[in-house]
Copies of this chain bind each other. A is one copy, B any other.
Amino acid sequence: MTHTTTRRNVLRGSAATAAVLATAGAATAPASAAGPGSRRERGPRIGILLYDGFSLLDPTGPAEVLSRLPDATVTMIAEQRGPVRTDTGDVAVVAERSLTEVDRLDVLLVPGGGNRGIIAAMGNRALLEWIRKIHRRSQWTTSVCTGSLILAAAGLLDGRRATTYWASAEYLEETFDVTYEAQRYVRSGKIITAAGVSAGIDMALHLSALIAGEATARAVQLAVEYDPQPPFDSGNAAEADARLKKHALELLERSAV
């Protein structure tokens, strides 16, 4: 196993090794341990709201992207600290902070979820009140997928343009004073809503440019090697027939707990 002792750096872009090694000594402690005045304390504070039944990629795609911004902290937040389980019941992500522990964020992101999780979140007064409180002083308030329904339930989307999961567009427009736009992400003032699940990655890159400039956002895109090459072309609901839509919704329902 000589490879583990003779090579100290497995990431080496051509001509970049020296630069990387020069910055390696500046690595900081985890966010939860960052004390006042630490470097990370000065970067954007990004908070992601978790709730029982969220969809795994909705928070984790943007978290991967946004965590690469200089000095950023990404904190998973839920009603209580501890594991929060996804819509399939298979996976749990740890909430590092409870709602009562977080008064202010530069960026709030609300992920989407399945029917059960979304309906519960839309009816959770404590959750909606916390979202309104954070939104008052946030720099950006964002959502992915059906997370926009939660923002709408909190009253944040009144009179605004927004997007959501393709199968929830009708519900969004019928239920709230919102104009749906079939875009990958929609910015309205300081609110940015993204379309379904994987759209959070595109939105997070756009947001990265707003926060840290386009040069940094481009470097983040390369850092996560986001050069998408889907093997199929079936991800756009506007081009999908009824059979495919039905099949997709059946898979979602069947995988949900």
Q: Smallest Cβ distance from A162 to chain B, in angstroms?
A: 14
Q: Is A211 an interface residue (CB 8 A)?
A: no
Whether B171 contacts A12 by the Cβ 8 Å rule is yes
Chain A interface: which size bin? 35 or more
Whether B216 contacts A10 by the Cβ 8 Å rule is no
Whether A30 contacts B89 by the Cβ 8 Å rule is yes
Q: What copy number does this chain have within its complex?
A: 2
Chain A 132-148, CB-CB to B under 8 Å as 1, else 0, gives: 00000000000001100
Given A166-B13, A232-B221, A244-B218: A7 in contact with B175 (beta carbons within 8 A):
yes
Q: Smallest Cβ distance from A190 to chain B, in angstroms?
A: 18
The A interface, classified by DSSP as helix, strand, loop or mixed, is mixed
Interface centre among A166, A184, A196, A228 (most CB of B within 10 A): A228
Interface centre among A28, A71, A209 (most CB of B within 10 A): A28
Chain B residues with Cβ under 8 A from A69's Cβ?
251, 255
Residues A61-78 near B (CB distance < 8 A): 61, 63-64, 67-76
Chain A 186-209, CB-CB to B under 8 Å as 1, else 0, gives: 000000000111110110011001
Residue pairs across A and B with Cβ atoms less than 8 A apart, 24 shown, are A3-B122, A3-B153, A7-B175, A13-B167, A13-B249, A15-B242, A20-B250, A23-B250, A24-B253, A55-B64, A56-B63, A67-B255, A68-B255, A166-B225, A195-B225, A196-B225, A198-B226, A217-B232, A219-B244, A219-B250, A222-B244, A226-B235, A227-B236, A228-B230
